[in-house]
Structure 1
Amino acid sequence: MSMSLADARYFLNRMIGLFRRSLDSLRTRGWRATWQRIRVHTQPLPALRGPALYLPEPSPFTPFSVPFDAEPLVSIVIPVYNHVDHTLACLRALAAHPPLARCEILVVDDGSSDLTGEWMPQIQGLRYEVRERNGGFIEACNDGVTRSRGQYVVLLNNDTVPQPGWLDALLDTFSSVPGAGLVGAQLIYPDGRLQESGGVLFHDGSAWSYGRFESTEDPRYSALRDVDYCSGAAIMLPRALWDQLGGFDVRYRPAYYEDTDLAFAVRAAGHRVLVQPASRVVHDEGTSNGTDTGSGIKAYQVRNRGVFAQKWATALAAHPAPGSVPSPALLHRSQRQVLILDEAVPQPDRDSGSLRQFNLIRMLIAAGLHVVFVPTRREHAGAATEALQRLGVEVWYAPFLHGIGPWLREHGPRFAVVMMVRHHVASECLPLLRSYAPGARRVFDTVDLHYLRERRGAELANDPGRLRMAERTRERELAVMAACDITVLVSEAERVQLQADAPQVRVELISNLHEVAGAGAPFAQRRDLVFVGGFAHPPNVDGVTWFISEVFPHIRADLPGVRFHCIGAQPPPALHALAAGQPDVIIHGFVPVVTPYMDEVRIAVAPLRFGAGVKGKVNLSMAHGQPVVATTCAVEGMHLHDGADVLVADDARAFAAAVVRLYEDEGLWMALSSAGLRNVAEHFSLDAAQASVQRVFVAS
């Protein structure tokens, strides 16, 4: 495919932007850190490699045991009719990788004549239930659920091999997704190809297995999604809902379309039907009844399609016509679709900007929007990408994302809103959006005013060259704002700044987004000091260096034995060298879970001497009831007042004195703890941002 003018401009802007940012990084980070960042942008992307499928090796039968709990949360019901080798493989998989949830396993024998009746009673923990007579798949399922004891029921075909974590992923969906009524697994062929990631129904009742024969890692099929139905080979629903609906409708006896009918009944009762691709189940399709719809049991598939279409004619009228090729645009046609363009997927355990973005995405999904995330680096970020997919975000990455231009050419028309994060991403992508998504509202998320942060850093360093670069950043950032419909800022102080610099720009305020965790341990049970912040951010490097070298010696003199915990990814060698020989200065680096340091350390420090935006480290501590000592820069635009919500000091001795005072004064500590919790709830919680989010993303 030839390159369009918009694609060429994107490529040129991206190369120019990378060059400019490299020059700036050389000035502020040095050549080693700059070279590492360049490599991130230019190195080839690794091939995706999902976990290998677990397939038990065939072996002669010997007794074994399966998970069993006398008070199960989940009942796994496996209807069987012969094919004992498949049943054994299924049970061996459940034994090899037992779910975390309390469960029981019921094999419901519908009249098998092979070795099923001899082998099943020898499996310890298995509930082997024999029906009086053969009644077919639907009757066996209904009978099995009646005999189950769990709060949730799973229907699982005997020709499946559940993969590790499959059941817990299904169960977690009910606690994380409001309104979930029925959740199905992603079905995979034994050769690793995708069999189905949910099903699509056309208005005549015919069905499409979404993703059949495609890659299981394809972004179209890898995210939690509302679906028309899920194959009954592996589905979970609450037992109470099953009883309310009466189970599988016996008009479809002996089999076929009963699972589709159940999904429609669940939805008609006001619940959601979802596929959870994090739950992976290998399915040897056609083991029981073959695949020929012209004869045998399989012929009921054709007959029952007509029964189903007649029963659900009103609901089916809104479905697409047969012959339509299902795509993300078609499947999400009833939702307002939002595209987010950023360099990389947010990693909320690593920086406050990522946490803000992650929580914003949660808010958009809760509002009923379909969110698509495209990282311009095209990287799959492992657990961070999977976390978004579990929320229901359609995340794209190489090799399925060949380039931003070609992808937007195909997908751009479906978006009502496109948000570009950071000015260099927006500069690169705006020409593409003008060509391929002309009807979309263009939103620019600054994260912080880069030119303001750069200017302050240059002034602190007294560097004329960096001042000139900050002015060029200002010109580019304001040009992006002029080309967008809405600019999103994170602080009131930045809004005031922009009123002077660009009064014509439409601005909305969406600040840091935190959930109020509540007070942690009381004053008497806390000790030490903590700083949290990633060190790819130059203000953090400068601030911690200043604190260790100039502030902490004064604190140490008054509070001997107090330790300083420094938490954040990529601490530079110079910081390690500064802390060397100081056992009370602990450089932890990246810590996956920082909550204990918020809940158990007495004071957080924010010793930033330059920067812009709102400081997530301050919000994070206050959300846990942890008081903060900070500089004026660190609390800018955060609705905080010295002595009432926070202690503020800007020179080394005053900062140290504030820390010592707060460390020893329980009454002051408790007052600031309570005030910080109120501040986060009022200004930096998800509830506080609802009105702005509605105006930016939901309002037409």
Structure 2
Amino acid sequence: MNSIALILGYVWPEPNSSAAGARIVQLIKALQSRGLEVHFACAAAPTEHQIDLGAMQVTAHTIELNSSSFNQFVATLEPELVIFDRFVTEEQFGWRVAESCSGAMRILDTEDLHSLRYAREKILKKAQKNNQECGPVLAQSQEIFQVMREDELVMREVAAIFRCDLSLMISEFEIDLLTRFFSVPASLLLHVPFMVECSARSTPTFAEREHFVSIGNFRHAPNWDAVLWLKQDLWPLLRRRCPSAQLHIYGAYPPKKATQLTNPKERFLVKGWADDALQVVENAKVLLAPLRFGAGIKGKIVDAMRTSTPSVVTSIAAESMAGDCAWPGIVADTKESFVDAAAQIYQNESHWLLASQACLPLLCSRYDFAMRSEELMSIVCARLQSLERFRRNNFLGGMFQYHSARSTEFMSRWIEVKSRINAQ
């Protein structure tokens, strides 16, 4: 196995801003655990909150979109593994990797199934347009499939999955959806949830904690929708049940429309950026995650588990997170049941303690870094050893690579030529 792995980032990783950023850091550590030299390349502009990759012993590269300079870069680097951060990155660079570094194993990290998230959002907006009282989208797989297939997004996303040698899926629900309804072979998919160090930590007691907390990047549509549902429907009821409690809303990149929701009299406080998300969560008595749509699994809930903080969540937020383990809190999907659950855990120490004690067993069962990273790297190494045979057997993948890559390639080359002419 060659010593180089290249990650092509959609954006520069910000682990303190989003679960997606934390996910990239986890993958980097998993690769390094097998002695790989990791390189990270990205065409996006640098950001204020991006992680110091150099401090992680990762070599960073700035690359260009629609430029043959990338072909030269990847051919010179000669990575054995190339990981695409989300399907749009594979669309942009996958054909170039296949052309200039054909022996490299191509891995897609989906982050979450974007087309599933958008389908659920579409269902929610339709219900809202019809003036229905809207809780979380609880549509079954068959209905979701019918909505997904109406949008070209799923065509692009599934095509990217077929073109790659392996796709890392964060959610078992998404694996089931792809294999049952989109004819994706199970051999192309690998369940890799979040991977965190699984160890007990000293956290505040019930008596030492106060208030409710909700956290999530404001640029992520499901998080912003959850804030609005809290503000408009859930918190007005919950604050009456818990008259001394405040609701603290944290998240990266809060827009003005979010900070303007702050109302001290209502004890609804939009705090914005959190320097230390774990500290914010562990000082709260209960984490609220009233997501009405979305996909993947939720980093905020993993943070709650790591800090032994009970959580009250919707089925969307809980999807594919617990397996056969007990939920460390309560899953509730109606406005009334959600408020009842939050008030119950907040006010009843024995209920709170039971939920808090369920956090570590679930964390260790599902998200232990040592276990999950070993599974990931063992399968990657095995796939590398039989890569040529595997590709021969993946006829549909080769067909998608031929046709989709040709159209993407010609568009990219046209943009490159146009940009060169305009610069003259």
Which residue is 2:244 aligned to?
Answer: 561
Structure possessing the higher relative contact order (Cα contacts under 8 Å, 6 or more residues apart): 2
Amino acid at match of 1:376: A
Of 340-349 and 406-415, the range deviating more from structure 2? 406-415
> Kindly tell me: are residues 573 and 373 of structure 1, through their superposed partners in 2, closer, same or farther at Cα, counting changes over 3 Å?
same
Matches within 5 A, 1:328-339: 335-339=2-6
Contact 2:115 2:154 in 1 (8 A): yes
Cα-to-partner distance string for 1:237-289 (whole Å, 9 max, x where unaligned): xxxxxxxxxxxxxxxxxxxxxxxxxxxxxxxxxxxxxxxxxxxxxxxxxxxxx
Further displaced range: 451-460 or 564-573: 564-573
Pick the aligned partner of 1:512 from 190, 194, 216: 194
Instruction: Write the deviation string for residues 5-49 of structure 1: whole angstroms up to 9, x where unpaired.
Output: xxxxxxxxxxxxxxxxxxxxxxxxxxxxxxxxxxxxxxxxxxxxx
Deviation at 1:443, TM superposition (A): 0.6
Query: What secondary structure, in the 3-state scheme, does the structure 1 residue paired with 2:84 have?
Result: strand
**Structure 1 SS opposite 2:72:** helix
Aligned with residue 164 of structure 2, among 474, 480, 484? 484
Contact 1:456 1:610 in 2 (8 A): yes
**Aligned-pair distance for 1:519?**
4.7
Q: Which of 382, 388, 397 is 2:53 aligned to?
A: 388
Q: Report the alpha carbon displacement of residue 593 of structure 1 after superposing the two structures with TM.
A: 1.4
Cα separation, partners in 2 of 1:411 and 1:555, compared to 1, 3 Å = same
CA change 1:498–1:468 in 2 (3 A) is closer
1:311-322 to 2 correspondence within 5 Å?
Answer: none
Matched-pair contact (CA < 8 Å) for 1:335–1:368: no
Give, as a single letter, the amino acid of the residue that structure 2 aligns with 1:489: M
- Determine if the alignment matches structure 1 residue 503 to structure 2 residue 166: no
Distance 1:641 1:395 in 2: 40
Name the SS for the 1:371 alignment partner: strand
Give the share of equivalent positions with the same residue, in percent. Answer: 25
Residue in structure 1 matching 2:41, options 367, 374, 378? 374
Measure, in 2, the Cα distance between the counterparts of 1:631 and 1:417.
Answer: 37
Measure the CA separation in 1 of the matches of 2:84 and 2:100: 15
Taking structure 2 as the reference length, the TM-score comes to 0.80
Q: Specify the code of the residue in structure 2 equivalent to 1:410.
A: F
One-letter code aligned to 2:96: L
CA distance in 2, matches of 1:381, 1:581: 32
Counterpart pick for 1:412 among 75, 85, 93: 75
Within 5 A, what are the aligned runs for 1:67-466?
Answer: 335-377=2-44, 379-381=45-47, 384-385=50-51, 387-397=52-62, 405-412=68-75, 414-462=78-126
Residue deviations 1:90-118 (CA, integer Å, cap 9, x gap): xxxxxxxxxxxxxxxxxxxxxxxxxxxxx
Counterpart in 2 of 1:234?
none
- 1:425 and 1:632 map into 2 onto residues whose CA distance is 30
Deviation at 1:688, TM superposition (A): 3.1
Seen in structure 2, the aligned counterparts of structure 1 residues 643 and 366 have a Cα distance that, compared at 3 Å, is: closer
Distance between the aligned counterparts of 1:422 and 1:695, measured in 2?
A: 22
Cα distance per residue 1:205-256 (max 9 Å; x no partner): xxxxxxxxxxxxxxxxxxxxxxxxxxxxxxxxxxxxxxxxxxxxxxxxxxxx
Q: CA deviation at 1:581?
A: 5.6
Alignment check: 8 A CA contact 1:627 1:669 kept: yes
Q: What do the CA deviations read for 1:181-224 (whole angstroms, capped 9, x no partner)?
A: xxxxxxxxxxxxxxxxxxxxxxxxxxxxxxxxxxxxxxxxxxxx
How far residue 446 of structure 1 moved from its aligned partner, in angstroms, is 0.6
Q: Does the CA contact (< 8 Å) of 1:409 and 1:436 recur in 2?
A: yes
Q: CA deviation at 1:622?
A: 0.9
CA RMSD after TM alignment: 2.5
Q: What letter corresponds to residue 514 of structure 1 in structure 2?
A: V
Partner Cα distance (1:691, 1:526) in 2: 36
Change (3 A) 1:640 1:627: farther
Corresponding pairs, count: 363
- How far apart, in 1, do the equivalents of 2:331 and 2:48 lie? 39
1: distance between equivalents of 2:185 and 2:178?
9
Deviation at 1:570, TM superposition (A): 2.1
TM-score, with normalisation over the residues of structure 1?
0.49
State the shift of 1:556 in Å.
Answer: 1.0
Question: CA 1:548/1:382 → structure 2, altered by over 3 Å: closer, same or farther?
Answer: closer
**Structure 2 counterpart of 1:483, one-letter code:** R
Deviations 1:408-439 (A, max 9, x none): 32333611111111111111112211211111
Find the aligned partners of 2:235 and 2:20 in 1 and give their Cα distance. 28
Please give the alpha-carbon distance, in whole angstroms, between the structure 1 residues aligned to 2:257 and 2:49: 30
Which of 311, 335, 358 is 1:652 aligned to?
335
Instruction: Decide whether aligned partners of structure 1 residues 381 and 575 sit closer, same or farther in structure 2, where only a CA change above 3 A counts.
Output: closer
State how far apart, in whole Å, the 2-side matches of 1:652 and 1:542 are.
14
More helix per residue: 2
Contact 2:70 2:96 in 1 (8 A): no
Instruction: Give the distance between the partners of 1:349 and 1:566, measured in 2 at CA.
Output: 15
**1:494 aligned to 2:161?**
no
- Pairwise CA distance, 1:626: 0.5
Matched, 1:629 2:312: yes
Shift of 1:340: 0.6
Structure 1: any 5+ residue segments left out of the alignment? 1-333
